[in-house]
Structure 1
Amino acid sequence: MGAVRRQETERGRAAAEAVLSGAAAGAGPVLPGAGPDAWTAFDQELRSYPRYRCDAADRPEAALCHPDGRIRQQALSAPRPTPELVAIRCADWAPAVRRRARRVLADLLAADPLSALLRLTPLVLRLGRREQGAWALELFEGALRAAAGGPALAALHDSPDLPARRLAARIAVEAVAAADAAGAGAAELRELARRAAAEHDPATGRTWTDAALALAAASAGGPDAEAVDTLLGGHVPMVRSAGVTLLRRAGRAAEAGRYLGDRSGLVRACARWAVRQDGGDPYALTRAHVTGAGLATTAAAVLGFAECAGREDAPLLRALTDHPVGAVRAGAVTGLRLLDTYDAALLEPLLDDPCPAVARAVALSLSGSADRPSTDRLLERVRPARPPHTRRAAYRLLRARGGMPALRASVELLADGDPGLRALAAHTVRAWNWQYALHTGETDAAELGGLLRRSAEAFDAYQLGLRLRRIGLRE
């Protein structure tokens, strides 16, 4: 559960407690502007309380969430029941409650479709996963399809709720596909491209992009130039890769070389294909990016070159590990790994690089190499005096090596100042096979017992005692 969902859930529980305690007395809304997770948590919290507590609450929301189904059913007949709770009751386990709630929700939707769709669609999508939740979901999907092109669907395209935005995109795309048979053209393609380029969610971006590609393929005159340019500027790699793919159909394949250094590997792969289809040489173009032939070298350009290069190009990448830009140094290290070239003598000093990306790339490269730095040098790098990114990289290599040095380092890092390192060390200590460690010959029961007691905060009392007994020690 993400942080926002946790906050919404806690908000719903707090509101339920306020209703039961009388702190929410009055006629004001109980959860103004709340999201679907807050409302479902509010309902669940109220229904989990003993009946006598809900009987004591004087808010109508308490009756709509009462543990007694007869009271919930009666509350649905009250004037202006809370729409969110009406929607929740449509998925109620009691058939009589469901039937009445569904009549009320249908009336709400018929009376003010715009308000109901904007307010309740995110919640209805969550409820659709429940056993009895399909009815409301089908009702709202039908209303949105009937209002395709209207203000409700347009507003949901920009909804902060991700499932609602995805649903709106699917419905809009269906409408465009139906209109295509009647002659949809450049304007529709540009709108689809604009939506795709502005989208940050990969799934929604793909929905818009696929529709744009289908419409472009159906165009007899080739894809619209403005739409192609819009796709090329998209946030999501899938969108930019679609723009690169369309360059060839638009007669602009010569422009594909610009995207050989894109930050996304997917876009770079599409650019290589487009360059080859146009008779070009991606290797020569990407090499020009990293040799500084009038072009600025970037980390993505280095990766693009490594994806085209062979092992004979390793010296060029090794030279780039001295580049003044940290991101380029990190790209060079990653490029050497892509070429399956591991040079421990070159890479080990880069664990101390001031750029965290370089240290991460070195740790990833050396984790797959048999020629890792010595344990002593790695242990020296996890000391508190070292920068956090150096400690993380060295610890990653210690964990890849395994054995008692990794366990000793993990116990030391339980008190580290970096929260991420502390969490990883605690996970390592809890997952360690302490009993098996006795049979490796690297340690004895006395040292293991000392390490376990120093790690006590990572275990509950039972788990700590169990591990001590397994290695032959008392608690």
Structure 2
Amino acid sequence: MRATAQWAVRRAGRSPAAIYRNALAADSPVGRARALVAGLGECGTHQDVDVLLPFLEHPSPRVRAEAVRAVRRLGGSPARIAGMLTDPAPVVVRAVKQALRGQPDAVPAARLWELLAPESPPHVRLGAYEQLRAKDAWTRVHVDLHLLAARDVELGHRAQADLNDWSRRSAATAYRAPTKEMTLRLGGLIDAAEPLISPRQAHQLRWILGVG
């Protein structure tokens, strides 16, 4: 519907982006903020990012999520969005995860490990997990084994399925060896997680790492 309206406005010689921009600049576009943010994200320019940034703090989670999508669509900084991985609303964190896809370095690994802690809300932990596993191959194996070794109730099943997927699809192409420190860490985690993974998988991981 928005695409049709935008087409009609352009055909009439007007700019839909200007209409969205002016409407958002008005005081409290109650009830319309989400649609206006989405519309500007669809037809605005990079210069409109500053118009959209305040809506990342809107009281409505749906508006915040829409603002995340719009800001990234218009080339906004991933760093500004990355801080919203701790948003109290799962719908916002899901939008952040999608916006950060292909941006593995947007959040420092140390911060993601902090967010993965058991005391974090489940949706925040899931977002941190998915960002960690997207970092690189050995961080992916590390976080999967960490969750399995910890017998993590919330994320353990995801970690096991992901480790199985890595073993089937990606292990054979893991040409770059991990650092010595990472190798030692992973060796200990394999020992701790072995009751939850197959002996064949444990043997495969040890063989790749060159540990006994």
User: Normalising to structure 2: TM-score of the pair?
Assistant: 0.80
CA displacement at 1:311 relative to structure 2: 0.9
Distance 1:318 1:293 in 2: 15
Pick one of 277, 300, 305 that aligns with 2:35: 300
CA offsets, 1:426-473, max 9 Å, x none?
Answer: 233221539947723254654333222333355333333343344445
Distance 1:457 1:290 in 2: 56
Consecutive unaligned residues of structure 2, counting only runs of 5 or more, are: none
Distance 1:315 1:375 in 2: 28
The secondary structure found in structure 1 opposite 2:134 is: helix
Corresponding residue number in structure 2 for 1:417: 153
Consecutive unaligned residues of structure 1, counting only runs of 5 or more, are: 1-266
Amino acid at match of 1:417: V
Corresponding residue number in structure 2 for 1:462: 200
Max radius of gyration: which structure?
A: 1
Count of residue pairs the alignment pairs up: 205
Matches within 5 A, 1:361-376: 361-369=95-103, 371-376=105-110
Corresponding residue number in structure 1 for 2:178: 440
Matches within 5 A, 1:48-63: none
Amino acid at match of 1:449: G
Quick one: percent identity of the two aligned structures?
31
Pick one of 401, 407, 417 that aligns with 2:135: 401
Distance 1:294 1:445 in 2: 54
Corresponding residue number in structure 1 for 2:115: 381
The secondary structure found in structure 1 opposite 2:177 is: helix
CA offsets, 1:386-444, max 9 Å, x none?
Answer: 001111111222122125443332223333332xx333322332215399477232546
Corresponding residue number in structure 1 for 2:3: 269
Matches within 5 A, 1:425-436: 425-430=159-164, 431-432=166-167, 433=171, 436=174
Q: Does 2:67 match 1:332?
A: yes
Distance 2:91 2:81 in 1: 13
RMSD: 2.8
Contact 1:435–1:467 (8 Å) recurs in 2 = no
Amino acid at match of 2:197: F
The secondary structure found in structure 2 opposite 1:439 is: coil
Contact 1:434–1:448 (8 Å) recurs in 2 = no
Relative contact order, CA 8 A, sep 6+: which one is greater? 2
Distance 1:295 1:473 in 2: 61
CA displacement at 1:308 relative to structure 2: 1.4
Corresponding residue number in structure 2 for 1:311: 46
Contact 1:434–1:471 (8 Å) recurs in 2 = no
User: Normalising to structure 1: TM-score of the pair?
Assistant: 0.39
Matches within 5 A, 1:106-255: none
Contact 2:38–2:70 (8 Å) recurs in 1 = yes
